[in-house]
Amino acid sequence: MNFDEIITLDKADPLAKKRLEFDLPADTIYLDGNSLGALPKSVKPRVAEVISQQWGNDLIKSWNSHNWIDLPIQVGEKIAPIIGAAQGQVICCDSISVNLFKVLCSALKLNSERTVVLSTKDNFPTDLYMVQGLSDLLGAGSCQLEIVEEQDIQQNLTRSVAVLLLTQVNFRTGMLLDMAKLTQIAHDKGILVIWDLAHSAGALPVELDNSKADFAVGCGYKYLNGGPGSPAFLYVAKRHQVTVKQPLCGWMGHANPFAFDPNYVPSHDINQFQCGTPSVISMSALDAALDVWQDVDMLQIRTKSETLADTFIALIKMNPCLHELTLCSPDVAQLRGSQLAFSHDAAFAICQALIAKGVIADFRAPNILRFGFTPLYTSFEDIWRAVAILVNIVESEQYKEPRFSITLKVT
């Protein structure tokens, strides 16, 4: 593969113009959109207007005049088609951890004759922590966590399991689980399924409705580009919304919050999963960021994602000095999300050296160097240049400089 072929790929890219909708810093190759998405240009004027006009001038009137009160539903409906959900099933609110607590409690309540929550050892830690915390709260007689290897999920789907809690794309390796297959097998055993979409929403076609998923959660700050600390979202299948009851009975989930009734009466739709007052500024930023998706074909996203990663792997293989980087992600593009993970004893130092050279990747303990490919703004030339810089760092052994082994709070 040569540079002319790389340029040809960029020229043929149907998503190339989308890059112009992002405010990307000069002299930076950003391969960490799987942790924090880049800034869409539409966000800056929207946030400025919310602060200066809506809050600064219109003050409390903006709850009605600028529809602040409807933002959780409005943003949820923008996310819905990206994750394969029909209207009325997605709401934007709180954090992914808080939303996990809500849907875990809801699922256990619906399947109250069982107590086991089955998940995987390499699931994102917060998912496991939330089950552990719920077990501490309720007692093992009501909730107990069982964890297995990813390859052993299917054989552990027994009739003692109440809830199957899975992340569609593994945060370390990028391995993609088969949502439709695993959901069907679980349902055949009377198990409800919660999907964590943190590394799949906006990275690949997600089919919640077609897969007959029960619940899902996801965040707004990765591939959806909503900004640091952006509100999360949750999905509850329409068939569950009348009978389900979530435990955080906040006033915004009341059927009529401004009646100020001392007795809680939940909405009988997705709105019952709200708790407190929406975070208007951050939710407005996410609302504006989602506009870049209005004319995007998720199949084009997937095709480009696979080609970007395959190109990266091919370039790695072309350079003998990089052969100590061991691919931890699946070789087959269809079996992974939109990221690649490589193990190396000096993964952290190599990552820091890359960042110093303007290539933003990230590190995941214990020894994973991770590269994310965001089809809306990652170009094939980015990939070419990133690998060239990686070659220089490894060949020259720059990563062995002591400054690249200094750890900070966030890795």
Mind telling me the catalytic residues?
Answer: 124, 196, 221-222, 370
Contact 215, 195 (CB under 8 A): yes
Question: Hey, which bits of 228-366 come out as E strands?
Answer: 233-236, 326-327, 339-343, 359-360, 362-364
Angle at which helices 71-79 and 280-289 cross, to 10°:
30
Q: What span, in angstroms and rounded, lies between the C-alpha atoms of 129 and 147? A: 12
Backbone angles phi, psi at 234, to 5 degrees: -140, 155
Secondary structure of residue 119 in the 3-state scheme: strand
- Rounded Cα distance between 10 and 311, Å, is 12
CA distance 5 to 2: 5
What DSSP character marks residue 335? Answer: G
CA distance 27 to 385: 11
Q: Which of 230, 398, 220, 375 is nearest to 296 (CA)?
A: 375
Neighbours of 61 (CB within 10 A): 11
Radius of gyration of the chain (CA): 22
Alpha-carbon dihedral sign for residues 375, 365, 178, 145: negative
**d(Cα 280, Cα 57) in Å, to the nearest integer?**
15
